[in-house]
Amino acid sequence: MRIISYNLNGIRAAIKKGFFDWLKTDPADVICIQETKAHQGDVDVKQLEALGFHHYWFSAQKKGYSGVAVFTKIKPDNVTNGNGHGPSDDEGRVIQLDFKDVKLINAYFPSGTSGDERQGFKYQWLDEFYIWLNKIKKKNPKLILCGDYNIAHHPIDIHDPKGNKNSSGFLPEEREWMTKLLESGWIDSFRAFHPEPHRYSWWSQRFPTVRAQNKGWRIDYINVTEPLKNNLKDAEIYPDVKHSDHCPVYLDIKI
């Protein structure tokens, strides 16, 4: 199964930038989208269906905000919208797909960049999500967690760790949460293949030159649980794909 996780920062804007044309190149079997900023009815889904994709959407109640979707050429056995956490589900942040004994979770983690209130929401969300993941893992040991985590884990994952030590997304508490997650039986699939620095998946739009200069953050991940470790075949980041301020991250896994 070839999987891509991609924060589109608005699927309608991405379509205008050639997103559907890129899908025609068959980049993956399963495309996990975050921040759709749209409902299914806002998009010409016939184009997706013509490419062989089943599509599943979980949008925020607030129009033009947040939202996740999965486009998959492999039909899942079951799809679940949300994870039962009311404030998170209102914002359309989690969707689950079951493929035999493997559960794929596509999640759009909150950002805390808009101020203290949202940073507090982010910490609460992370705590509740961690507890929920552990419960799910007991029932479904084989998990894949795709998404925009809005956390750069280590200094290697951010171009200016010293200058961003007080920035949301690289705060000690956030990084400690990521460490706790990985130590609880998860694998950072990209780092399993790529220990090298300067590999990023997001670049600020406030400074137009930073993407060309590769001054970015790695905040998009496809992590898997330990029982899937030996099934990993390849992982990659595609910075040259440009429909968003993020780029796609990729995993090839045998399931």
Please tell me the distance from the alpha carbon of residue 72 to that of residue 88, in angstroms, as a whole number.
23
pLDDT at 71: 98
φ, ψ at 167 (rounded to 5°) = -95, 140
Q: Residue 244 corresponds to which amino acid?
A: S
β strands within the chain, DSSP E: 2-7, 30-34, 54-58, 68-72, 78-81, 94-99, 102-108, 143-148, 186-188, 220-225, 232-237, 249-253
| pLDDT single digits (tens) 83-117 | 999 999 999 999 999 999 999 999 999 999 999 99
Please tell me the distance from the alpha carbon of residue 155 to that of residue 215, in angstroms, as a whole number.
13
Please tell me the distance from the alpha carbon of residue 55 to that of residue 207, in angstroms, as a whole number.
34
pLDDT at 62: 96
pLDDT at 82: 98
Is pTM beyond 0.85 here? yes
- Domains of the chain, earliest start first: 2-253 (3.60.10.10)
The one-digit pLDDT tens for each residue of the chain (255 residues) are: 999 999 999 999 999 999 999 999 999 999 999 999 999 999 999 999 999 999 999 999 999 999 999 999 999 999 999 999 999 999 999 999 999 999 999 999 999 999 999 999 999 999 999 999 999 999 999 999 999 999 999 999 999 999 999 999 999 999 999 999 999 999 999 999 999 999 999 999 998 899 999 999 999 999 999 999 999 999 999 999 999 999 999 999 999
pLDDT at 150: 98
Helix residue spans in 6-155 (DSSP H): 11-16, 19-23, 45-50, 86-90, 116-139
φ, ψ at 94 (rounded to 5°) = -140, 135
Q: Is 29 a catalytic residue?
A: no
Q: Which residue of the set 77, 127, 148, 220 is catalytic? A: 148
pLDDT at 208: 85
pLDDT at 186: 98
Residue 100 burial by CB count (10 A; 0-12/13-18/19+): exposed, middle or buried?
Answer: exposed
Q: Residue 142 corresponds to which amino acid?
A: K
Nearest residue to 33 (alpha-carbon basis) of 102, 126, 107? 107
